[in-house]
Amino acid sequence: MSDLTNIFLVGPMGSGKSAVGKQLAKELGLEFIDSDTEIEQRTGVDISYIFEKEGEARFRLREAEVIAELAQRKGIVLATGGGAVLDADNRRHLLDNGIVIYLRASVAQQLERTQHTRHRPLLVNRDAETVLTELMATRAPWYEEIAALTVDTGGRRVRTVVSTIRDALARRGLAPLKN
């Protein structure tokens, strides 16, 4: 098996990037990092506050800085924000430093998974189905373009998705480096 430095999870909100990423990292003996959580820790405020006070454009700049830095680390599973793929530099950093896995979920599945959360700034005071449909139309081509592997998460347990990823990595002869 060859060594794989990092695993980067991309996909829409509600696709399971954080839940799958935590379990995958645990099973592979890697460090798990969520880019949104990292931004919150560095700024001392939540993502919704950044969106409200500084706007999405400033948030995307913060996100790009964090992804550029984190992608240089070794032995991580990184769950990115749903819109991280919009930035060409983010896409390049991910592609150059590990394997990108697209966790795909339908809009219906995203609606089900995000309906009770209040920390999704793009959904605040808006019709969630319309927003998620528009975001998917814009972002899905980027997810697909940079992904080495696409895994459907709709209606599947986290352990099943993790097992699918591990099997696919094994079939490709890839074994992540451990810390």
Domain that holds residue 28: 2-176
Using CB atoms within 10 Å of the CB of residue 44, give its burial: 0 to 12 exposed, 13 to 18 middle, 19+ buried: exposed
| Per-residue pLDDT reduced to its tens digit, 8-64 | 999 998 889 999 999 999 999 999 999 999 999 999 998 888 988 998 899 999 999
| Per-residue pLDDT reduced to its tens digit, 28-41 | 999 999 999 999 99
Distance CA 155, CA 67 (A): 29
pLDDT of residue 179: 41
CATH code, domain with 158:
3.40.50.300
What is the number of domains present in the chain? 1
Where do the H-state alpha helices sit in the chain?
17-28, 35-43, 47-70, 88-97, 107-114, 128-146, 158-171
pTM: 0.89
